[in-house]
Amino acid sequence: MYFCHQHHHPSPNTHHPNMAKDKIAYVCSNCGQESAKWIGKCPACGQWNTFKEIRIANESGSMAARSAASTVRQSKADNRNHPMRLSEISSRDLPRIDMHDGELNRVLGGGLVPGSIVLLGGEPGIGKSTLSLQTALTLTDKKILYVSGEESLYQLKMRAERITQHPTPNTQPSDHLLILCETSLEAIFNHIKEVVPELVVIDSIQTISTEEVDSSPGSITQVRECAAALLRFAKSSGIPVILIGHITKEGTLAGPKILEHIVDTVIQFEGDQHYMYRILRSIKNRFGSTSELGIYEMLQTGLRQVSNPSELLLTQDHDGLSGIAISSAIEGIRPFLVETQALVSTAAYGTPQRSATGFDQRRLNMLLAVLEKRVGFKLIQKDVFINIAGGLRVTDLAMDLSVIAAVLSSNVDTPIESGWCMAGEVGLSGEVRPVSRIEQRIAEAEKLGFQHIIVPKYNLSGLNRKKFNIELHPVRKVEEALRALFG
């Protein structure tokens, strides 16, 4: 196979007289890999024809960012960098800004760190702007500059009025929030110098452009330069910046890995348009855990925090329905009970289908093989469909037991009695392996009124069973769990 790729570029001097010192680089639009010359296939991610030319602005490029930061920065002692011994460095926690939102605080790792830069990503219409505007309205003790490159002042006013109908006492509009509709980075920095805010929100980074780069807003070059200038501003002034980012049709952040490398924290707002629930998930966090989840309910008057997700994820009445099992799962530090639904039916066509929503498809195939080999249930000619209720995507391995129980319940068309839940990872030999934080799982099930919980036998060593009123059923193998459920 021959590739004839003619890539003619005019010399940098022909573009603009001031650009003689600019450098040209090529960046993979899929993974952010840089190269000095154009390459057909990216050596990092293996994609073809993803390298795009970018022009790297010379050092004078970030003058606006530096002058804004120096105006805002207060006079400090001479703190030029020098090497320090590890033992000399203070290990005290960074002071955090309380966002007056328990879910957002948890995902950020305890609040917003001064001088940090946070990227909030999500699909169109999922509620990114609503979340950031609602948070800005709630932070009445901070002076906030909200920069919108996508909506007019009138649209933002309408949204703010809709949010402030919410009965929470904190979200009262006041003079602390300043709205700016602007897409020029230099103009934004001029306004920052005048206003001297304590928090800057940029909605969205794809609409902002700088005059130093010769390309359209939203291109890799513009996104990279604008994000880098905002990073320099945040770090040198100590003012945190929240960037809102779009998502491409592949589901990754637009301006892809370049943005993720630059920022301190990446949080993704996800959820199904057909469900009212929205999940805030931390993908990268230099100041906290990335396994945290925040759950919101989308209402007409904004986003409502869901402090007890178990009540949302359990449909109350499923007595007499087969194929439903309740699992005690943990995401981050929060336990919640989640409903696993399964449907097993005879394959109408030659090849049986295996489909999973909210659960790993390959793991489902493995669990079905365990059922076939170790428990002796023949599912080879059956279609198997799995769904995690509420549009949730769960990665906890303790879901295995409830998936197997739901599949079996649907296969024999026998409902699992109400009041039973379970937690356990299933191994390839059909053993039930121990799971982490078993006490929290049991306590959550007890709190929600369950009378029986199936747990791995190995988890019970060192566990004080007397402090729980719920009945524990320890099992070593999958057969024992199924015998306890179905007799």
If pLDDT is split at 50, 70 and 90, which confidence band does 21 have? Answer: low
409, pLDDT greater than 50: yes
pLDDT at residue number 221: 82
> Residue 76's pLDDT is what?
40
Report residue 44's pLDDT band, with 50, 70 and 90 as the boundaries: confident
Report the C-alpha gap between 247 and 271 in whole angstroms.
Answer: 13
Q: What is the mean pLDDT of the chain?
A: 84
pLDDT at residue 350 in the model: 80
> Identity (one letter) of the amino acid at 280?
L
Q: How far is CA 464 from CA 44, 235, 419, 433, 467, in A?
A: 51, 49, 22, 19, 6
For the chain, state the CA radius of gyration.
27
Q: Pick the residue with more confidence: 137 or 273?
A: 137
User: What's the pLDDT at 14?
Assistant: 45
Classify the C-alpha dihedral 125-131-134-136 as positive or negative: negative
pLDDT at 463 over 90: no
In this structure, of 59-63, 106-110, 348-352, 412-416, the range with the lowest mean pLDDT score is 59-63
Residue 376 pLDDT > 50 = yes
* Average of per-residue pLDDT across 202-212: 90
Would you say residue 54 has pLDDT above 60? yes
Mean pLDDT of 210-236: 88
Q: Which of 30-34, 188-192, 366-370 has the lowest mean pLDDT?
A: 30-34
Which residue is associated with the tokens 């309408």?
158
Q: How far apart are CA 250 and CA 245, in angstroms?
A: 14
Percent of the chain with pLDDT over 90: 46
Whole-structure pTM value: 0.74
pLDDT, residue 167, reads 46
pLDDT given for residue 178 in this prediction: 94
Number of residues that this document lists for the chain: 487
Percentage, residues of the chain above pLDDT 70: 85
Q: What is the pLDDT of residue 77?
A: 41
Comparison of pLDDT for 118 and 308, the residue scoring more? 118
What 8-state DSSP symbol labels residue 415?
A: P
For CA atoms 430, 433, 438, 441, the dihedral sign is negative
Q: What pLDDT was estimated at residue 11?
A: 46
Name the band, by pLDDT with cuts 50, 70 and 90, for residue 193.
Answer: very high
pLDDT band at 261 (very low <50, low <70, confident <90, very high): confident
Q: Please determine, for residue 146, whether its predicted confidence score (pLDDT) is greater than 80.
A: yes
Res 389: pLDDT:
83
Per-residue DSSP letter, 303: E
Instruction: Dump pLDDT digits (tens) for 69-109.
Output: 666 654 344 456 789 898 888 877 678 999 999 999 999 99
State the average pLDDT over residues 458-468: 87
Range name among 250-259, 344-353, 433-442 with the lowest pLDDT average = 250-259
The residue among 33, 82, 73 whose CA lies nearest residue 54 is 33
User: Best-predicted range by mean pLDDT among 4-18, 206-220, 355-369, 456-470?
Assistant: 355-369
Instruction: Name the amino acid, one letter, at 232.
Output: R
Confidence of residue 47 (pLDDT cuts 50, 70, 90): confident
